[in-house]
Amino acid sequence: MARTLVGVLALQGAFREHAAAVARLGAEAREVRQLKDMRGIDAMIIPGGESTTIGKLLVEWGMLDPLRERIEKGMPVYGSCAGLILLCREIENSNQPRLGVLDATVRRNAFGRQVDSFETDLEMPELGPPPFPAVFIRAPVLTGVGPRVRVLANVKGQAVAVRQDNVLATSFHPELTSDVRLHRYFLEMCTK
């Protein structure tokens, strides 16, 4: 079987780190900057960065609707931080562009500003022991999730990692650590 070709949305943000993580696990990574780059990809990662910036560029390059259609047809997608925000149906106090494929409500900058950013070891039963080193940078949280959404991890009782069928989202940044378990979990979603 051909290697999984993972698109990494490269409009802005920490896309190189995600590409490096999936490449380390034996998949092929392709930076996606324009609509034509999406041809032939098996999955998509939406990286951390600025959700307003990435959302605007998705609209300007005519990629928002085609990407949404691909996800709705079952293409696996993983969003970290800004990526999670873009996946959500509801964004509190914001009408910014989004994909809206994840049945959840997100609160941006939920922990405060950069001085409130933190690292913590997170229990994620789905990934097994030991706890996952989670890096939260101006991170969002999910304040409400629909019935199809499975919560994979919590911080202070609020969801920070979720899965809804082919959609995976975390409000932290596994790409900033050397722990590849979450990327491996995503690649397994791509082969099943």
Partner 1 sequence: MEQGTIRLKTGLAEMLKGGVIMDVTTPEQAKIAEQAGACAVMALERVPADIRAAGGVARMADPTIVKKIMEVVSIPVMAKARIGHFVEARILEALGVDYIDESEVLTPADDRYHIDKRNFTVPFVCGCRNLGEALRRIAEGAAMIRTKGEPGTGNVVEAVRHCRQVMDEIRMLCALPDAEVPNFAKECGAPLEVAMRVRKEGRLPVVNFAAGGIATPADAALMMHLGCDGVFVGSGIFKSGDPAKRAKAIVQAVTNYNDYAMLAEISKDLGEPMVGIEISSIPDAERMQERGW
Under a CB-based contact definition with an 8 Å cutoff, are residues 166 and 71 in contact?
A: yes
Measured from the CB atom, is 38 or 149 closer to partner 1?
Answer: 38
Under a CB-based contact definition with an 8 Å cutoff, are residues 78 and 60 in contact?
A: no
**What is the sign of the dihedral through the CA atoms of 82, 87, 92 and 97?**
positive
Nearest partner of 168 among 111, 109, 88, 95, judged by Cα: 88
Measured from the CB atom, is 12 or 189 closer to partner 1?
Answer: 12
CB of 26 to partner 1, least distance (A): 23
Measured from the CB atom, is 15 or 186 closer to partner 1?
Answer: 15
Positions marked catalytic: 81, 173, 175
Residue positions counted in the chain: 192
CB of 192 to partner 1, least distance (A): 30
Report CA 56 to chain centroid distance, whole Å: 17
Binding residues (CB under 8 A) for partner 1: these are 10-17, 33-34, 48-50, 52-53, 56-57, 60, 81-82, 94, 108-109, 112-120, 135, 137-138, 173, 176
Residue type, 185: Y
CB of 90 to partner 1, least distance (A): 15
